[in-house]
Structure 1
């Protein structure tokens, strides 16, 4: 499975950053293609955060 991984930092404390993972269905190309809309929605839902960078990455779900 491909996930959209973003690094976001608090606007009020720019040195406080966290990685957030948003599950995505489909291929890496599909993740990249829909990433801007997904990031815009995430930013709208998290107004106190600033997205620094993002990537689409494959993670193993084996437990």
Structure 2
């Protein structure tokens, strides 16, 4: 499983940030890196109060899945 981990900050309060993630089961880490910006653009369209400040892709190890 691949995790697209990103930091989302409130547009009105840039110091109010939190980690968020999107999980993918059918892609590689390289595919995640290449497709992250369009996925994050979709996320910000659905969450207009937030901006994304940074992001990364990595493989989740078994037992590491977030709930």
**TM-score, normalising length: structure 1:** 0.88
Q: Aligned ranges for residues 27-46 of structure 1 at < 5 Å? A: 27-46=28-47
RMSD between superposed Cα atoms in Å: 1.3
Deviation at 1:57, TM superposition (A): 1.3
Structure 1 unaligned regions, length at least 5: none
Deviation at 1:61, TM superposition (A): 3.4
**Per-residue deviation, residues 19-60 of structure 1 (Å, max 9, x unmatched):** 111002321011112111101100100100010000001222
Q: Aligned ranges for residues 43-58 of structure 1 at < 5 Å? A: 43-58=44-59
Structure 2 unaligned regions, length at least 5: none
Distance 1:44 1:61 in 2: 31
Name 2:17's counterpart in structure 1: 17
Name 2:6's counterpart in structure 1: 6
**TM-score, normalising length: structure 2:** 0.84
State the SS of the aligned residue for 1:16.
Answer: strand
